[in-house]
Amino acid sequence: MTWLVIVGCVVLIATSGWLIARAHTQEVAQSQLSNTNLARAVTEQIEGSISEIAHIVDGLVFELERANTDRLPLQNLQPVLVNHVAGVEALKGLFIYDAKGEWVVHSEAVSNASLNNSDREYFQFHKGNLSERVRIGAPLVSRSSGEWVIPISRRINDTDGNFNGVALATLNIGFLRSVLEKYDVGQGGAITLAMRDRLLVRRPFKVDEIGMTIPASALQKAFESSKSGVIDGPSSIDKVDRIISFDHMRNYPIRVAVALAKDEVLKEWRTASFVQAGLTLVLCLLLASSGAYVIRAMRLRLDAEAGLRETRDALSIANERLSHLAQYDGLTGLPNRRYFDSRFARVFEKAQREQRLLSVVLVDVDQFKNYNDRYGHVQGDECLRQIAQAVLSSIERTGDFVARYGGEELVMLLPDTDSAGAALIAEDARAAVVSRHIPHEETTLGIVSISLGVATAVPGASCERYALVNAADEALYVAKSRGRNQVYSKEAG
């Protein structure tokens, strides 16, 4: 009987140790999975905001360079800049500088003619670099507001391709801070936004850490060598040992790192392990005289494992919801700009490869700012939801796609559709919106209407993907300039 008790205790202790080790592995793995999904969600949310601002900057530069002027007579653009800033939460300000760095036009309420930004790093970069891509710079203190911002800038060329100034948008660091504060990473956790070895903003927030150079470390090398991943180790900033999930933005040189303190992650596991170890010792002492107690304890342990599985399943559901939120617009329920970009890339490549027709329709709500000013933003949100449903009702084929492009703009992607067919679908969408009879007393029509620009092409091998979107945007501009509430089609070529 003695040997049976000894064997039973050895088996019990070995089993308990295995369960503790297994629970540790599962706890760490589950934390890594949850952390990775959180890092991806933060990355996609912030990249969406940056993409929206970059789109505004690209649009401004496109209009400026299309004007074919040697100087930048832009004072009439000031209300447009103000409207952009008012409509995008992440946007702090918009500025246009001439080739000397002087302020030509901006979104600020007060102007200071003595200000000159030719000494700024982003200005010097664009002056000496021919790249026409939007560039994200290191954080700096705004001369107009005195607040920390991140510059998003692009070079402006004259008709001969020479440097003619800089278009600048400033990303509000306060907005980034508010985004990071929404996510629960525990008291010892941290979320970091960095650009290469330069810290942009971090939670927990410290003003003196903005723009600091991140010390070189093994973690920093891992961040630079991989696009995404999970690593363990002490932070190079505050030396706290954490589980760190990181992800790089697809279109911008920015890295998001979400870190959970190991002590917090393993706190419950340690408690459970100590309890389990104690129970195991008690069971070993009572094994000879209380077989029933051992059976009961095993049942309790099985129930605990079932609870862990239920918790795992609940976390899986939560992760799926996070993935859905990252791809769909919370206001209209339509796919968001990021989802559209991904879908458009696949559809465009297929049309290019198979030489098929592809149509893009850009939709803009007529005089929507006036609607918001009169009826308020809450009613404006409801108006956008109704318009989204009306536009969505105009498509019937499974391959057709409608997304929110940004602000009050929607976009329709129509594969295998010629110009006439796309115009009919666009007209159906326009009529569907008008038929809703949403009151809008600031227009001559008296109700909400939309303008639509249609562009159609069979993409050639050298065709730029967004040339089709730009053509649709030009067609939309024509539709609005001709009086709004109408469809205008353009062959993209």
Tens of pLDDT, residue by residue, the chain (493 residues): 678 878 878 887 888 788 888 878 888 888 888 888 888 988 999 999 999 999 999 998 988 887 754 444 566 788 888 899 889 998 999 999 999 999 888 888 766 667 889 999 999 999 999 998 999 999 999 888 888 999 999 999 988 889 999 999 999 898 988 888 888 888 888 898 988 888 888 888 888 888 888 877 766 677 777 788 888 888 777 788 888 888 899 888 888 988 888 888 887 888 888 888 888 889 888 987 766 566 676 777 767 666 667 757 556 665 666 666 678 998 999 999 999 999 999 999 999 999 999 999 999 999 999 999 999 999 999 999 999 999 999 998 989 999 999 899 999 999 999 999 999 999 999 999 999 999 999 888 999 999 999 999 999 877 888 899 999 999 999 999 999 999 999 877 6
HSE-CB for 238 with a 13 A CA cutoff: 16
Q: Left, alpha or beta for 233 (phi > 0: left; psi -120 to 50: alpha)?
A: left
- CB burial of 58-81 (b: ≥16 within 10 Å; e: otherwise) equals bebbeebbeeeeeebebeebbebb
- Same domain, yes or no, for 120 and 259? yes
Q: Which of 423, 40, 413 is nearest to 228 (CA)?
A: 40
- Same domain, yes or no, for 355 and 290? no
The pLDDT value recorded for residue 71 is: 47
- Same domain, yes or no, for 75 and 174? yes
CB atoms near residue 182 (< 10 Å): 10
Whole-number Cα distances in Å, 275 to 270, 271, 278, 372: 9, 6, 5, 60
From CA 470, how far away is CA 475, in angstroms rounded?
Answer: 9
The pLDDT value recorded for residue 166 is: 94
The pLDDT value recorded for residue 323 is: 61
Domain boundary among 327, 362, 396: 327
Q: Which residues contact 332 (CB under 8 A, 6 or more apart)?
A: 384, 385, 388, 404
Q: Which of 148, 237, 154 is nearest to 197 (CA)?
A: 237
Domain boundary among 279, 314, 347: 279
From CA 379, how far away is CA 392, in angstroms rounded?
Answer: 20
CB atoms near residue 416 (< 10 Å): 16
- Same domain, yes or no, for 102 and 132? yes
Q: Which two tokens stand for residue 81?
A: 């800049």
Helix (H) or strand (E) holding 228: strand 228-234
Helices 337-354 and 465-481 sit at what angle, rounded to 10 degrees? 110
Q: Which two tokens stand for residue 338?
A: 């990021």
- Same domain, yes or no, for 274 and 284? no
- Same domain, yes or no, for 15 and 71? no
Q: Domain with 404 in it: what CATH number?
A: 3.30.70.270
Q: What are the residues facing 487 on neighbouring strands?
A: 452
Q: Which residues contact 230 (CB under 8 A, 6 or more apart)?
A: 32, 35, 36, 243, 244, 245, 246
pTM: 0.52
Residue 332 domain flag: no
Residue 166 domain flag: yes
The pLDDT value recorded for residue 446 is: 93
Q: Left, alpha or beta for 311 (phi > 0: left; psi -120 to 50: alpha)?
A: alpha
Residue 93 domain flag: yes
Residue 199 domain flag: yes
Does a cis peptide bond (omega within 30 degrees of 0) precede residue 439?
no
- Same domain, yes or no, for 383 and 485? yes
From CA 94, how far away is CA 58, in angstroms rounded?
Answer: 12
Residue 442 domain flag: yes
- Same domain, yes or no, for 287 and 259? no
Which amino acid, 5?
A: V
Whole-number Cα distances in Å, 168 to 79, 104, 422, 425: 16, 12, 36, 37
Q: Which two tokens stand for residue 78?
A: 């000031």
Domain boundary among 327, 362, 387: 327
Antiparallel, parallel or unpaired: β 487-491 and 450-457: parallel
- Same domain, yes or no, for 252 and 314? no
Instruction: State which residues form the domain around 402.
Output: 337-491
Residue 275 domain flag: yes
- Same domain, yes or no, for 183 and 57? yes
- Same domain, yes or no, for 150 and 204? yes
Contact yes or no for 335/328 (Cβ under 8 A): yes
Residue 302 domain flag: yes
- Same domain, yes or no, for 89 and 147? yes
How many structural domains is the chain composed of? Answer: 3
